[in-house]
Structure 1
Amino acid sequence: MNAITLNIPHLTSEGFVELAQANQDLQLERAATGEVIIMPPTYPWTGKQNSGLNAQLWLWNRQTGLGIVFDSSTGFTLPNGAVKSPDATWVSNERWETLTSSQQQEQFSPLSPDFVVELRSSSDSLEKVRAKMREYIDNGVRLGWLIDPKTKQVEIYRPGQDVEVLQSPTTVSGFDVLPGFELDLNQVW
């Protein structure tokens, strides 16, 4: 199952919000160029892996209280105008509190998360997911992980640094963005 891209001329940010609200059963993203991307539901195996990943991040955050964890159905409006829904997302309390209204917190929040994860499913093109990771970093995300269960590879994205590639790691560190967090990949593979 592949994503479907729709070109809807003159679709504004407000129009995209209306489209998403009218089609809540669909997972939609908006490219910076304005195209609407309709993504299929994940296969059960991918959903299981994603749940394990989110659970570990959520438990770490509950212990530290440093921010807020979001799941794959949460959209964020990046500075380039794209609305993206990473598989797992974390935003520091400090950055979340900069949002000036409840509307900014209730719709597609206009901020780049501090941390994102994309978990590559069997239907994902590696180049498309890598492009998405570069877009996150180019728009202010401080740390991103591209996890590929098929190859047991993790690509670590950070601003101003080359992509670091780990082959078959058992854990991956949150560095200074997620202090003390280590993802146990045995729960994801």
Structure 2
Amino acid sequence: MFEVKSRTDSLAKLRRKIQEFLELGTKVGVLVDPRTRTMEVYRLNRDKVVLGDGDVLQVPELLPGWELPVVEVWAPEFD
């Protein structure tokens, strides 16, 4: 599951929601925060992993071999 934080969303509320879904059987939860340009990756009974622009998102338990450079998620900036 993916959750994208809006300006009005509470991070704590979104994190709780992801945790609830994991407890119900979801394999991976990803919290995307455009303001900080980070992704928090959650798996049940494991520490969260925080990814930034230099990292690559992988979810081998769902999409083996698939990779997404985090920097490619954000809107392009033009000079």
1:134 corresponds to which residue? 19
Matched, 1:122 2:7: yes
Consecutive unaligned residues of structure 2, counting only runs of 5 or more, are 75-79
Consecutive unaligned residues of structure 1, counting only runs of 5 or more, are 1-115
Task: Please state which structure has a larger fraction of its residues in helix.
Answer: 1
Q: How far off its partner does 1:117 sit?
A: 0.8
Larger RCO (alpha carbons 8 Å, 6+ apart): 2
Paired residue type of 2:17 = K
Conserved 8 A contact 2:22-2:29 = yes
Larger Rg: 1
TM-score by length of 2: 0.79
When the two chains are superposed, the root-mean-square deviation of aligned CA atoms in Å is: 1.6
Aligned equivalents of 1:129, 1:184: Cα separation in 2: 23
Aligned equivalents of 1:166, 1:187: Cα separation in 2: 13
1:32 corresponds to which residue? none
Aligned length: 74
Identical columns (%): 38
Matched, 1:187 2:66: no
Map 1:1-189 → 2, pairs under 5 A: 116-189=1-74
